[in-house]
Amino acid sequence: MSDDLDKLIATIEEQERRLVFPRFDETDAWALGSLLVKLATERRLPVAVDIRRGEQQLFHAGLPGSSADNDAWIERKVRVVYRYAGSSYLVGRRLAAKGQSLNAEMGVDPARYAAHGGAFPIRVTGAGIIGVVTVSGLPQADDHALVVEAIESTLAG
């Protein structure tokens, strides 16, 4: 494993440990989703934004330049977070460090799962992962970074 990949994995792991909500309800989903839309709109980013709590979709927006393909990517990334209990970027980078990818040999259908950055677990203190916030439409590192930026801002606010 390369030093750069080791450092990236450590950074993502630290983000996941640090970015924990004290609580998360519909109002919080609306605020976080609205912030993501604001950031993406200001930057003219062609993304879709999605926030779920369990199986319930609490927020979804498709911005100019996004498409139904982004929605399909969201579904695949969300499944990775729920199955592996980590961000889709972290799962993908850990696999890459081992020279692996999600496939049938691992018991998953790559048409249904995508270990590409952009889906981040919503963790609540004392409850663990209760949902997922996802951005799709940019290169995977940028999708991930946008979600992290918005969560950091929300938790600091």
Distance CA 48, CA 61 (A): 6
Confidence label for 157 from pLDDT (cuts 50, 70 and 90): confident
Closest CA to 115 of 83, 152, 137: 83
Closest CA to 47 of 147, 125, 127: 147
Tell me what pLDDT residue 105 has.
84
Q: Note the pTM of the prediction, 2 decimals.
A: 0.96
- 132 forms beta bridges with 52, 121
Q: How many domains, in total, are found in the chain? A: 1
Domain extent at residue 122: 3-156
CATH number at residue 138: 3.30.450.150
Please determine, for residue 10, whether its predicted confidence score (pLDDT) is greater than 90. yes
Tell me what pLDDT residue 104 has.
84
Distance CA 37, CA 14 (A): 25
- 85: tokens are 């209990």
- For the segment 8-28, the average pLDDT, to the nearest whole number, is 98
Tell me what pLDDT residue 21 has.
98
Tell me what pLDDT residue 106 has.
86
Tell me what pLDDT residue 1 has.
53
Long-range contacts of 98-106 (CB under 8 A, 24+ apart): 98/1
Model confidence pLDDT, tens digit, residues 49-105: 999 999 999 999 999 999 999 999 999 999 999 999 999 999 999 999 999 988 888
Tell me what pLDDT residue 111 has.
94
Closest CA to 122 of 41, 20, 7, 6: 20
Residue written as token pair 């990818």: 101
Quick one: 64 exposed, middle or buried, by C-beta within 10 A (0-12, 13-18, 19+)? exposed
